[in-house]
Amino acid sequence: MIREPNALDVLYLIAAARWTLALTALAFVGGGLSGLLVMLMRVVPARPINWLAIGWIQAIQGTPLLAQLFVFFFGFAIFGYRVSPWVAAGAAFSLYASAFLAEIWRGCVEAVPRTQWEASAALGLGFGQQLRYVIVPQAFRIAIPPTVGFLVQLVKNTSLASVIGFVELTREGQITTGATFRPFTVYGIVAILYFCICFPLSQLSRRLERKLNVAH
């Protein structure tokens, strides 16, 4: 039975936005930790390790995120393992984030002038100490805008999890549209909720960037 959208539908959409945030947080933390490891493998002066990291990045960036979701959700079922939408989405988005964050952070590390490496080496610092005390603090300032920019994209990309039955904001919008047959109204509200999530992140990025530039 078709009906008009009401306040309860809006509350359901807001409640579903919590799962969008939860999935984003899981993917960003998981992807950040693994992405940091991949980034270190990319910059360490050892070619075989570099190749492993490059292979990982190319494999993840060279395949659609939707396909990665299907591999985790449907692929393991072939071997008799049933994977929940939450686990499949969390794993797929974490791997996806790891590849992109690794490349973002590698670029930020390499953006630090080469003279900084040379000066720290002249002081007798090892590779790890160079990264920790000299390079990473400078790269951190550079990394904030692209990292937050990727985080905003990650928030919006979580909408793909709806195809495997994960009930986040977009999926709840589909359910509500099916009940009300008012796609313009429902997806308008969905778009506003996404904006309410993403806009503060962009503003926070600008504030942190200005603060760190002043501190510098």
pLDDT at residue 144 greater than cutoff 50 = yes
How many domains does the chain divide into?
1
Is residue 1 a part of any domain in this protein?
A: no
For residue 215, what pLDDT is reported? 43
Is residue 122 a part of any domain in this protein?
A: yes
Distances (CA, A) of 209 to 10, 116, 147, 151, 174: 35, 21, 12, 15, 37
For residue 8, what pLDDT is reported? 93
- What CATH code is carried by the domain that includes residue 113? 1.10.3720.10
pLDDT in tens, 51-96: 999 999 999 999 999 999 999 999 988 888 889 999 999 999 999 9
Which range of residues forms the domain containing residue 164?
7-215
Give me the residue label for tokens 């070619």. Answer: 47
Instruction: Write out the H or E segment, with its range, that includes residue 8.
Output: helix 7-43
Chain centroid to Cα 177, Å, comes to: 28
pTM attached to this predicted model:
0.91
